[in-house]
C-alpha cells in the first residue's frame, strides 16, 4: 500500500511527529471519534482531503499497542489510510487487532450514533467487536 500524490491532491498535509499527532487527534475528535484511537510513534506525515474524507498517516515504524481497558492488542502499520465521516472511519487500511491467536485487519471503526458510549470495530473476516468508547480515550 502506497499513498499516492493523486490521493493527496487538494488535501491539507502536515509533517513531523510533533505536528501530526495532535492534528490526527484533533481530526478524530472533530468527527466524533475518540482521540486515543491512534497511539502512534515517529509520525512523518499526515493529511486529510476534506472534499473526499481521505486521511493518511505515514510513520517510520509500525507500532504495537495494548489497550488495557479493552484488553486488546492492536498493530498500526507504517501507512494508515481511511475515509473519515461523522462518527466513522471507513475503508481503513494499516490497522490489525489481535483476536485469539490471529491478527485481523480492521476495516471500519464506528461510534454508535444511538449509543455514543459504544464503539464498534469491524474486520474483513466479518468479525465485529464492541467496546465502551472510554477504552480509547487519549492516554489509555
Give residue 140's pLDDT. Answer: 65
Q: Give CA–CA dist 102/25, Å, rounded.
A: 28
Binned at pLDDT 50, 70 and 90, residue 124 comes out as confident
Provide the β-strand partners of residue 78.
none
Q: Which residue has the higher pLDDT, 113 or 103?
A: 103
Give pTM, 2 decimals. Answer: 0.91
Total domains in the chain come to: 1
Domain that holds residue 87: 5-136
* Cell numbers linked to 13: 498535509
Mean per-residue pLDDT of the chain = 92
**pLDDT tens digits for range 11-34:** 999 999 999 989 999 999 999 999
The per-residue pLDDT for 2 is: 77
Q: pLDDT for 70-100, tens place per residue?
A: 999 999 999 999 999 999 999 999 999 998 8
Place of cell 465521516: 85
Task: Pull the grid cell for residue 7.
Answer: 490521493
Amino acid at each position: 500500500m502506497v499513498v499516492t500524490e493523486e490521493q493527496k491532491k487538494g488535501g491539507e498535509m502536515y509533517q513531523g511527529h510533533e505536528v501530526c499527532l495532535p492534528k490526527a487527534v484533533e481530526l478524530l475528535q472533530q468527527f466524533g471519534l475518540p482521540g486515543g484511537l491512534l497511539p502512534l510513534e515517529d509520525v512523518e506525515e499526515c493529511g486529510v482531503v476534506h472534499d473526499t474524507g481521505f486521511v493518511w498517516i505515514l510513520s517510520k515504524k509500525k507500532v504495537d499497542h495494548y489497550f488495557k481497558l479493552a484488553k486488546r492488542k492492536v498493530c498500526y502499520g507504517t501507512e494508515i489510510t481511511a475515509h473519515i465521516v461523522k462518527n466513522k472511519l471507513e475503508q481503513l487500511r494499516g490497522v490489525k487487532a489481535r483476536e485469539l491467536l490471529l491478527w485481523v485487519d480492521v476495516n471500519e471503526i464506528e461510534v454508535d450514533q444511538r449509543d455514543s458510549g459504544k464503539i464498534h470495530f469491524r474486520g474483513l473476516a466479518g468479525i465485529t467487536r464492541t467496546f465502551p468508547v472510554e477504552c480509547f480515550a487519549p492516554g489509555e
